[in-house]
């Protein structure tokens, strides 16, 4: 590439030189003013071409370096001392030629290195420019896509009144007005399809988890079976050791020989006879207790009837007392409020005796009730345990406290 560029630059210089020579040849027939104008025009054209030529500075540097190197090469080729011995002119001249060619090759190599460095710097500059242009293109493309998206949304995002159910509107509610600027209206078919895909994936995961669960269940069952068999082995070993360490008694020997059969039969017969006797005794005691309970229930019924009669008499007495009080008040009003002391003492005595008689009657009835309760507890104790005495004792202790 560098060689082609250098070839182009050399051809341009040769063309400029040739054009200059042709113009000089053609200028013999022109006047001085026209010649000056033509030269000024040629210089302007050359300056414009040099400005547009990217390899102009490189060509100038190469021309200067080539001129200086040519002078140095000629000087170095001639600057060689003659040796102290005789050398033929042909050999000496050949040596000078080889030396000059070597120096020329070294200078050419150095020139190419310089040209490579210049081209490398130029390439880095062009690469930097290319990167900057790429970044600018990327930014412009992003802006273009954003503008295209906005234009597409401006064409498609139209204000439409849509009737939705409350559960289908998933936009967060505002305090006053809800902003639907960034919301998207999704068709129900897409939502249903997505839900079906989710259910399908979820069903696959559930099936996979069930397989894993079943596999782990089988592993745990196998481990349990293994542990169960180990424990059975330990139990059999312990049972075998117990059998080895068992002390053989006479009863055990009799059982092992089979001599305990008759004795066991006799024992069973005796036990059965005893059970039958206890059942008959229990039945007789139960019948007696039932008869006693019937008598006590009859006595209780009689006492209750007597209590009802006493309550009736008490009502009658209360009525008679009220009547007598009314008569007494009328006597008092008729006699002017004076009471005979003998009548007053007689009435008080009558009231005291009546109250005493009622108190004695209540105490007697209370005693009879307590005796009946004791008899009932005694009869109950014959059939099943009763804790009435313990409860009564606890109540007595509590009263004493």
Which DSSP symbol is given to 149?
H
Q: Enter the tokens of residue 102.
A: 């070597």
Q: Does any domain span residue 301?
A: yes
- Has this prediction a pTM greater than 0.85? no
Is 268 in the same domain as 390?
yes
Is 382 in the same domain as 305?
yes
Is 294 in the same domain as 379?
yes
Is 135 in the same domain as 203?
no
The range of the structural domain enclosing residue 393 comes to 261-335+354-400
**Number of structural domains in the chain:** 3
- Angstrom CA distances, 114 to 70, 196, 394, stand at 16, 71, 128
Is 58 in the same domain as 103?
yes
Is 102 in the same domain as 228?
no
Q: Does any domain span residue 377?
A: yes
308 vs 2, residue with greater confidence = 308
Helices (H) and strands (E) in the chain, counts: 9, 0
Chain segment 38-69, per-residue pLDDT in tens: 777 777 776 766 665 655 665 666 666 666 65
CA-nearest of 354, 372, 366, 363 to 313 is: 354
Query: Which of 95-99, 139-143, 197-201, 214-218 has the least mean pLDDT?
Result: 95-99
Is 135 in the same domain as 7?
yes
Greatest mean pLDDT among 80-84, 106-110, 248-252 lies in 106-110
User: Does the pLDDT value for residue 24 go beyond 50?
Assistant: no
Q: Does any domain span residue 47?
A: yes
CA distance 184 to 171: 9
Size of the chain, expressed as the number of residues it contains: 401
Q: Does any domain span residue 146?
A: no
Chain segment 73-103, per-residue pLDDT in tens: 555 545 555 555 676 778 878 888 888 888 8
Is 266 in the same domain as 371?
yes
Cα torsion angle, 229, 230, 234, 235, sign: negative
Distance, C-alpha 228 to centroid of its chain: 38
Give the three-class secondary structure for 287.
Answer: helix
Is 280 in the same domain as 396?
yes
Q: Does any domain span residue 145?
A: no
What would you report as the CA-atom Rg of the chain, rounded to the nearest whole angstrom? Answer: 71
Q: Give the HSE-up count for residue 244: Cα atoms under 13 Å, Cβ half-sphere.
A: 6
Give the three-class secondary structure for 169.
Answer: coil
Q: Does any domain span residue 218?
A: yes
Q: Does any domain span residue 186?
A: no
Is 215 in the same domain as 316?
no
CA distance 8 to 55: 10
Q: Does any domain span residue 84?
A: no
Chain segment 274-305, per-residue pLDDT in tens: 999 999 999 999 999 999 999 999 989 988 98
User: Does the pLDDT value for residue 371 go beyond 90?
Assistant: no
CA distance 374 to 372: 5
CA distance 12 to 146: 49
Is 228 in the same domain as 272?
no
Evaluate whether 16 touches 63 at the Cβ level (below 8 Å).
no
User: Does the pLDDT value for residue 15 go beyond 50?
Assistant: no
Is 203 in the same domain as 324?
no
Q: Give the HSE-up count for residue 52: Cα atoms under 13 Å, Cβ half-sphere.
A: 5
Which DSSP symbol is given to 54?
T
């Amino acid at each position: 590439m560098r060689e082609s560029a250098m070839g182009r630059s050399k051809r341009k210089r040769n063309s400029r030189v040739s054009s200059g020579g042709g113009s000089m040849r053609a200028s013999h027939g022109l006047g001085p003013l026209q010649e000056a104008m033509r030269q000024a025009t040629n210089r302007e054209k050359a300056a414009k071409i040099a400005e547009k030529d990217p390899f102009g500075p490189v060509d100038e540097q190469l021309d200067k370096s080539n001129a200086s190197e040519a002078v140095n090469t000629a000087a170095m080729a001639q600057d060689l001392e003659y040796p102290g011995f005789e050398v033929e002119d042909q050999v000496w001249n050949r040596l000078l030629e080889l030396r000059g060619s070597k120096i020329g090759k070294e200078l050419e190599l150095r020139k190419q290195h310089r040209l490579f460095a210049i081209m490398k710097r130029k390439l880095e500059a062009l690469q930097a420019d290319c990167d900057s242009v790429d970044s600018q293109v990327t930014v412009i493309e992003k802006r273009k896509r954003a503008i295209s998206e906005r234009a597409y949304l401006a064409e498609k995002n139209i204000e439409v009144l849509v009737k939705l159910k409350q559960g289908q509107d998933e936009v967060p509610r505002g305090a006053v007005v809800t902003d639907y600027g960034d919301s998207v209206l999704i068709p129900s078919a897409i939502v249903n399809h997505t839900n079906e895909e989710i259910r399908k994936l979820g069903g696959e995961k559930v099936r996979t988890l069930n397989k894993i669960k079943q596999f782990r269940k089988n592993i745990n069952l196998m481990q349990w079976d293994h542990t169960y068999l180990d424990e059975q082995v330990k139990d059999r070993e312990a049972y075998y050791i117990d059998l080895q360490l068992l002390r053989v008694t006479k009863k055990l020997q009799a059982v092992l020989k089979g001599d305990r059969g008759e004795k066991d039969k006799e024992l069973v017969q005796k036990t059965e006879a005893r059970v039958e006797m206890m059942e008959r005794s229990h039945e007789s005691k139960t019948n007696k207790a039932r008869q006693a309970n019937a008598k006590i229930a009859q006595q209780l019924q009689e006492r209750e009837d007597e209590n009802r009669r006493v309550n009736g008499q008490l009502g009658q007495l209360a009525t008679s007392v009220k009547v007598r009080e009314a008569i007494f008040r009328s006597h008092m009003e008729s006699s002017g409020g004076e009471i005979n002391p003998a009548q007053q003492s007689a009435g008080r005595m009558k009231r005291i005796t009546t109250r005493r008689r009622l108190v004695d009657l209540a105490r007697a009835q209370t005693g009879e009730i307590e005796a009946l309760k004791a008899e009932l507890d005694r009869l109950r104790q014959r059939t099943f345990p009763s804790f009435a005495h313990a409860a009564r004792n606890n109540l007595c202790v509590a009263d004493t406290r």
